[in-house]
C-alpha cells in the first residue's frame, strides 16, 4: 500500500490529517480514535466497578451481625446489639435506591463506645470491618492537633483510610474509621484561658465537619497541607465513624448524677437497684459533656454504648472460646514445632485469678500466657519433646517471684 494512501480504518481520516497513525495487521487507527476508545473503555469499566463494589457489600441482618461478633468477642451483649443495629442501618442507607419524589434523607449514625481499657472496643470495630469486607482505619486521637500546630491534622484520619483501601476512593468512602482514645481530646478546663487548647477542644472542633459528612481535601501521603500539594477529595458522608475511649473517672460524674436524682420516697429503693460495680451502664450524653466533650461532637455521635468490665467468667471464656482465643493461638504456635500443648482447667482458672488480682484485663491474659510459656517455647523446639501439659503448679512456678512483682508494677 502506498504511503499516501494510508488512512484510519475507524474514522477514515488520511495520515496527513492525523498526528499519529498506528498500524495493525491489516488496519490502522489514529490518535483521535484511540482517545475516544479509551474514554469508552474507562466509562464501561468504571460502571462495572460500581456495580461490583455495590454488590460486594453483602449486608447481613442485625442478628447475623451479632452472631458473627459472638465468634470473636466474648460478652458485651448490649454493645454488640447496639452496634449491629447501627451498622445495619448505616449500610442499608448506603444501598437504598434513590426514588424520585422521596424527600426522606436518612442521616448516618456514628457511634461512641465508653469502656475501660482492654474490654474489646478496638476488637469489635475490627471484627465488624472484617465481616463487611470494608476498609478500616484505626486512628489514635492523641496525636491530633489543630491545623498549624505540631502534630497531625484531623484530615490525616482520612489518609489512613485511603491507605487501608489501597487508594480506591470509592471503597474508602464507605469504610469505617475507628477513632481511639477520644477521651484524651476532652476539653482541659471549663475556665477561659489565654492559651489555646490545640490538642483538646481544638481537635473536637476540627472533627465536626468530618463526622457530619462533607467533602475534604486530603493529602494522599499524609503530613501537613501546603499550597503546591496535590489533594484527593474525599466525601465523608458515607463513612461510618466509631469513637472509643476509656473516659477514666467518668464513673464519678455518673455517680454524682445518680445521687442527685435519688430524692424522695423512692430514693432508697432506686439506690438498691443501682449496680455500683458497673456504673458505666448508666452513662448518658450529659456525662460525656461533663467529662469534657463539646455538645456539637456529642450530637454527631448519636449512638452511645458502653463496654462492661470483664468479670471472671468472661476472662475465662476469652482464653478458650473465641475463634482467635489466646490458648488456641499458643497451641497453633507449638503445633508448628510438632508439640501438643494442653492446659488443664485449674491452670486456666489460676491465670484468670491473677489477671483479676492485678487488673490486667484481656490484654493482660496474653502477658500471663507469654510468661508461662516462654521457657517451654525456648527449650522444646531443640530438645525433641512433643507434649507439654500445663497445670496449676507449672503455671504458678513460672509466674513466681520477681516476674509476678513486675506484672503487678505494670498494671
Characterize the bridge pairing of strands 21-23 and 28-30.
Answer: antiparallel
Q: Is the pLDDT of residue 334 over 90?
A: yes
3-class state of residue 365 by DSSP: helix
| pLDDT (mean) for 66-70 | 91
Whole-angstrom distance, CA of residue 79 vs CA of residue 111: 11
Q: How confident is the model at residue 52, as a pLDDT?
A: 41
Residue 54: pLDDT band with limits 50, 70, 90: very low
Q: Please, where are the H alpha helices in 133-239?
A: 156-164, 169-172, 201-212
Quickly name the fold that domain 312-410 has: Helicase, Ruva Protein; domain 3 (1.10.8)
Q: Is the pLDDT of residue 405 over 70?
A: no
Architecture of the domain defined by 62-95+107-188+196-306 = 3-Layer(aba) Sandwich (3.40)
| pLDDT (mean) for 203-220 | 86
**pLDDT per residue over 160-206, tens digit each?**
899 988 989 988 998 899 998 898 888 766 655 545 666 678 888 88
Query: Higher-confidence residue: 67 or 105?
Result: 67
Q: What is the CA 258 to chain-centroid distance, rounded?
A: 32
Q: Is the pLDDT of residue 269 over 90?
A: no
| pLDDT (mean) for 134-163 | 82
Residue 391: pLDDT band with limits 50, 70, 90: very high
| pLDDT (mean) for 255-278 | 67
Cell of 85: 443495629
Q: Is the pLDDT of residue 353 over 60?
A: yes
Q: How confident is the model at residue 2, as a pLDDT?
A: 44
Q: How confident is the model at residue 64, as a pLDDT?
A: 92
Q: How confident is the model at residue 272, as a pLDDT?
A: 54
Torsions phi, psi of 245, nearest 5? -165, 155
CA quadruple 29, 32, 38, 43: dihedral positive or negative? negative
Give residue limits of the domains in the chain.
3-56, 62-95+107-188+196-306, 312-410
Query: Higher-confidence residue: 145 or 163?
Result: 163
Mean pLDDT of the chain: 82
Residue 347: pLDDT band with limits 50, 70, 90: very high
Q: How confident is the model at residue 55, as a pLDDT?
A: 42
**What pTM was computed for the model?**
0.73
**pLDDT per residue over 306-321, tens digit each?**
998 888 888 899 899 8
**How are the residues of the chain apportioned to helix, strand and coil, as percentages rounded to the nearest 5?**
55, 10, 35
Whole-angstrom distance, CA of residue 77 vs CA of residue 114: 14
Other C-beta atoms lying within 10 Å of the C-beta of residue 379: 10
Q: Is the pLDDT of residue 216 over 50?
A: yes
Cell of 304: 452511645
Which range of 89-98, 105-114, 389-398 scores highest in mean pLDDT? It is 389-398
Q: Is the pLDDT of residue 294 over 70?
A: yes
Q: Is the pLDDT of residue 337 over 70?
A: yes
Query: What is the DSSP code (8-state) at residue 59?
Result: P
Which residues share a beta bridge with 144? 152
Q: Is the pLDDT of residue 262 over 60?
A: no
Which element (helix H / strand E) includes 241?
Answer: strand 240-245
Amino acid at each position: 500500500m502506498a504511503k499516501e494512501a494510508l488512512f484510519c480504518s475507524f474514522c477514515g481520516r488520511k495520515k496527513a490529517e492525523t498526528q499519529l497513525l498506528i498500524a495493525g495487521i491489516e488496519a490502522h487507527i489514529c490518535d483521535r480514535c484511540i482517545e475516544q476508545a479509551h474514554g469508552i473503555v474507562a466509562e464501561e469499566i468504571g460502571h462495572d466497578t460500581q456495580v461490583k463494589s455495590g454488590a460486594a457489600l453483602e449486608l447481613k441482618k442485625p442478628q447475623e451481625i451479632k452472631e458473627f461478633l459472638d465468634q470473636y468477642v466474648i460478652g458485651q451483649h448490649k454493645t454488640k446489639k447496639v452496634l449491629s443495629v447501627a451498622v445495619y442501618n448505616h449500610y442499608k442507607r448506603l444501598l437504598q435506591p434513590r426514588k424520585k419524589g422521596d424527600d426522606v434523607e436518612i442521616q448516618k449514625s456514628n457511634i461512641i463506645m465508653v469502656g475501660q481499657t482492654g474490654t474489646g472496643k478496638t476488637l469489635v470495630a475490627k471484627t465488624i470491618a472484617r465481616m463487611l469486607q470494608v476498609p478500616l482505619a484505626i486512628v489514635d486521637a492523641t496525636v491530633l492537633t489543630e491545623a498549624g500546630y505540631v502534630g497531625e491534622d484531623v484530615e490525616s484520619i482520612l489518609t489512613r483510610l485511603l491507605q487501608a483501601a489501597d487508594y480506591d476512593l470509592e471503597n474508602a468512602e464507605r469504610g469505617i474509621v475507628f477513632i481511639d482514645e477520644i477521651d484524651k481530646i476532652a476539653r482541659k478546663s471549663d475556665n477561659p484561658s489565654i492559651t489555646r487548647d490545640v490538642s483538646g477542644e481544638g481537635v473536637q472542633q476540627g472533627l465536626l465537619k468530618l463526622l457530619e459528612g462533607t467533602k475534604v481535601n486530603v493529602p494522599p501521603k499524609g503530613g501537613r497541607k501546603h499550597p503546591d500539594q496535590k489533594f484527593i477529595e474525599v466525601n465523608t458522608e458515607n463513612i461510618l465513624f466509631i469513637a472509643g475511649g476509656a473516659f477514666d473517672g467518668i464513673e464519678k460524674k455518673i455517680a454524682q448524677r445518680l445521687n442527685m436524682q435519688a430524692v424522695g420516697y423512692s430514693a432508697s429503693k432506686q439506690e438498691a437497684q443501682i449496680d455500683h460495680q458497673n456504673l458505666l451502664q448508666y452513662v448518658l450524653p450529659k456525662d460525656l459533656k461533663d467529662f469534657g466533650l463539646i455538645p456539637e461532637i456529642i450530637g454527631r455521635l448519636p449512638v452511645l454504648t458502653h463496654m462492661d468490665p470483664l468479670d471472671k467468667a468472661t476472662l475465662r471464656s476469652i482464653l478458650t472460646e473465641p475463634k482467635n482465643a489466646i490458648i488456641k493461638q499458643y497451641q497453633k504456635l507449638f503445633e508448628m514445632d510438632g508439640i501438643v500443648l494442653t492446659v488443664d482447667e485449674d491452670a486456666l482458672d489460676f491465670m484468670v485469678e491473677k489477671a483479676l488480682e492485678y487488673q490486667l484485663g484481656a490484654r493482660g491474659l496474653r502477658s500471663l500466657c507469654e510468661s508461662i510459656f516462654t521457657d517451654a517455647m525456648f527449650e522444646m523446639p531443640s530438645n525433641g519433646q512433643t507434649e507439654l501439659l500445663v497445670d496449676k503448679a507449672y503455671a504458678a512456678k513460672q509466674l513466681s517471684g520477681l516476674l509476678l512483682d513486675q506484672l503487678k508494677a505494670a498494671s
